[in-house]
Amino acid sequence: MKIQLINAPLSSKYSTTIRAAAFPPLNIIALATYIKKHYSTCEIEIVDGELMDTSQIIQRLDGDIVGISSNTLTYDNALSIAKAAKNIKAKVIIGGSHASVVGESILRNRPFIDVAVYGDGEKALLSLIRGYDYEQIPNIIFRRGNHFIRTESNNVPFENIPFPDYSLYDITPYSQRFRSIYPRKPFHKPFAIFSAKGCYWRMISKGCIFCAVTHSELRMKNPKKVWDEIIWHQDKWGADFMWDTSDTFTMQKEWIKEFVRLKPTDCKVHFHIYGRSNDIDEEKAKLLHKLGVYEILIGFESGNDRILENTGKGIKVASSRKAVQILHDYGIKVIPSIILGLPGETKESIDDSYNFIKELIDQYDIQEGYCSMVLPLPGSRMMKRLIDLPESAIDGESDKFDLERLRHIWIENFTEVSYDLVLSMQSEILSLFPLAGSLAKPLEKFSDKINIGKESHKNERIYEIENVFAI
């Protein structure tokens, strides 16, 4: 039996920060490792849409089972691949963040897809490969006549998930791309890990209005197990840089303390993490320094307190300033992220964000950063507000959305600015960053190399989508 696990390519309508292209596809390599451990006789092929376009992927389809991981921005291409896979009579499975939110709608509208997986896919995929009755399989949605059945969730405990086995996949291109994308970073062997799944802030509050993370609970790996994985990567592959994909690394101080306490003396790996500004204090910054954190990406989102309150972020501009100062004092680089077009946005609040970012760059020599235009995604409170608009033309039961149209509708109804102004100010803020005020140049070069469609799009922009690629 042959299993093909596919990371769907980004639609040509969208641009992305190319961060993901510099790292092997952690989600599907982890899945492949788990399957191989428990079903060693099957053949598994990993196909990364960061390295080839949709037509190339379709040409190599020959699996008995084709599993496709997709987010909302890659869904168009995921559908094309799924349809082609069904034409060769494969069992077609779709998972990822998009299926986790609209899995039932996918099955209702796409008869060529057999099963949708929501949440973690390890147990679901293994059981599907073994041919279990659908009702016995956790974390799936399937058809029964005209009805759709959603089975109960049952995730594999973190301690039972093996380290992603990168020997199952050729990872050599990624280090080269990392060096070309980030030539000034003093690292050569980057790898991605996740120390947690879920978002603590969303667990204790409504979460940010734009958040589409599907894990409402926070699950942390045992700190020793994380170190075991890191050291394994260091010893086996020469890893020197770990990109932790966890959404809120900084929120659990006691976990960080234990993680630092267990740090092996021979560890030479540095870290990129995500954090929240109001989590940062002197004690935590000192811990992060001891840990070897090289840089931290913080979603400041806005330079205006009213907008932050409207967004449900749970932070203040003052806490953001203080966090940058503290981290700077400990030699930790800050990568700021801003979103324009949040609820209640005005010209004045956008100016506040511009001035805030400029202040940080001037004062702390910040080199990299992100600025995105608001993007309502399925599963977010933002999307729900769009669907609930009077006389809304948005079908809440759909599986496919025109994201650019959603963005226009949102800005028109929930802000006091125009789409064109937001677009213009996005470019203005991006241009402030010294290193690549835009990542468009490296993206264009990268796209040439991997033959991603270069169809022009008048509204093509760089979107910061860390929440879209939730594991």
Instruction: Report d(CA 153, CA 137) in Å as an integer.
Output: 9
Residues 314 and 240 in one domain: yes
Do the Cβ atoms of 463 and 14 come closer than 8 Å? yes
Where are the alpha helices (H) located in 3-150, listed in sequence order?
26-38, 54-59, 75-87, 97-109, 122-129
Interval 151-168: pLDDT, tens: 999 999 888 889 898 889
Q: Are residues 382 and 291 in the same domain?
A: yes
Total of domains in the chain? 2
Q: How many CB atoms lie within 10 A of CB 386?
A: 21
What's the DSSP call for residue 326?
A: H
Residues 230 and 141 in one domain: no
Gap between the terminal Cα atoms of the chain: 26
Does 388 share its domain with 239? yes
Give the global pTM: 0.88
Q: What is the pLDDT of residue 215?
A: 64
334 with 327: CB under 8 angstroms? Answer: yes
pLDDT at 214: 64
Are residues 155 and 218 in contact, defined by beta-carbon separation less than 8 angstroms? no
Residue 42 lies in a domain: yes
Same-domain check for residues 277 and 361: yes
Q: Are strands 43-48 and 65-69 parallel, antiparallel or unpaired?
A: unpaired
Band of pLDDT at residue 14, cut at 50, 70 and 90: low
- d(CA 228, CA 231) in angstroms, rounded, equals 5
CATH of the domain at 109: 3.40.50.280
Examine the pLDDT at 326 and tell me if it is beyond 50. yes
Output the CA torsion sign for 191, 233, 196, 35: positive
Which has the minimum average pLDDT: 119-128, 160-169, 411-420, 449-458?
A: 449-458
Regarding whether 115 and 204 lie in a shared domain, the answer is: no
148, two tokens? 């759709």
What's the pLDDT score for residue 454?
29
Show Cβ contacts of residue 440 under 8 Å, excluding neighbours closer than 6 positions.
Answer: 15, 462
Banded model confidence at residue 179, pLDDT cuts 50, 70, 90: confident
Q: Do 313 and 413 belong to one domain?
A: yes
pLDDT for 101 equals 94
What one-character DSSP code corresponds to residue 293?
E
Query: How high is the pLDDT of residue 21?
Result: 61
> What is the average pLDDT across 178-199?
88
How many C-beta atoms surround the C-beta of residue 1 within 10 A? 13
The DSSP secondary-structure symbol of 279 reads G
Task: Check whether 463 has a pLDDT greater than 70.
Answer: no
How much is the average pLDDT of 171-195? 87
Question: What is the domain range of residue 111?
Answer: 2-150
270 with 332: CB under 8 angstroms?
no
Count of beta carbons in the 10 Å neighbourhood of residue 457? 13
Q: Is residue 289 part of a domain?
A: yes
Report the share of the chain in percent with pLDDT over 90.
71
43, exposed or middle or buried, with CB in 10 Å at 0-12, 13-18, 19+? Answer: exposed
Residue 19 has pLDDT above 70, yes or no: no
177 compared with 210, residue with greater pLDDT: 210
Total residues belonging to the chain: 471
Tell me, yes or no, whether 367 and 256 share the same domain: yes
pLDDT in tens, 257-306: 999 999 999 999 999 999 999 999 999 999 999 999 999 999 999 999 99
The DSSP-derived string for 360-418 is HHHHH-----EEEE----TTSHHHHHHHTSTT----TT-S---HHHHHHHHHHHH-SS-
pLDDT tens, 196-214?
Answer: 888 888 888 888 999 987 6
Highest mean pLDDT among 313-322, 390-399, 451-460: 313-322
Residue 22 contacts residue 181 (beta carbons within 8 Å): yes
132 located within any domain: yes
For residue 8, the one-letter residue type is A
CA distances from 169 to 17, 31, 166, 187, 467 (A): 23, 12, 6, 21, 25
Is there a contact between 46 and 166 (Cβ–Cβ < 8 Å)? Answer: no
Beta strand pairing call for 190-193 and 241-244: parallel
pLDDT of residue 11 exceeding 90: no
Is residue 177 in a domain? no
Average pLDDT value for residue range 330-354: 98
Any domain includes 444:
no
Say which DSSP state 295 is in: E
Sheet holding 293-301, edge to edge: 190-193, 241-244, 270-275, 293-301, 333-340, 370-373
What CATH number did the domain enclosing 271 receive? 3.20.20.70
Residue at 344: amino acid letter: G
Q: Using DSSP bridges, classify how beta strands 293-301 and 270-275 pair: parallel, antiparallel or unpaired.
A: parallel
Distance CA 376, CA 211 (A): 9
Is 7 within a domain?
A: yes
CA–CA dist 197, 469 (Å, integer): 12
- Give the per-residue pLDDT at 90: 98
Find out whether 213 and 247 touch, Cβ atoms under 8 Å. Answer: yes
Q: Hey, is 93 helix, strand or coil?
A: strand
Mean of per-residue pLDDT scores for the chain: 88
Per-residue pLDDT, averaged over 29-45, amounts to 95
pLDDT reported for residue 408 = 95
Please indicate, yes or no, if residue 457 is contained in any of the structural domains. no
Same domain flag for 200 and 145: no
Q: Are residues 200 and 144 in the same domain?
A: no
Closest Cα to residue 127, out of 114, 117, 113, 137?
137
Does 463 reside within a domain? no
Q: In what order do the strands lie in the sheet with 43-48?
A: 43-48, 2-7, 65-69, 91-95, 115-117, 140-144, 147-150
Q: Is the pLDDT at 448 greater than 50, yes or no? A: no
301 with 427, same domain: the answer is: yes
The pair of three-digit structure tokens given for residue 464, joined into one six-digit string: 């910061």
Same domain, 268 and 412: yes
Whose CA is closest to 35, among 43, 23, 24?
A: 43
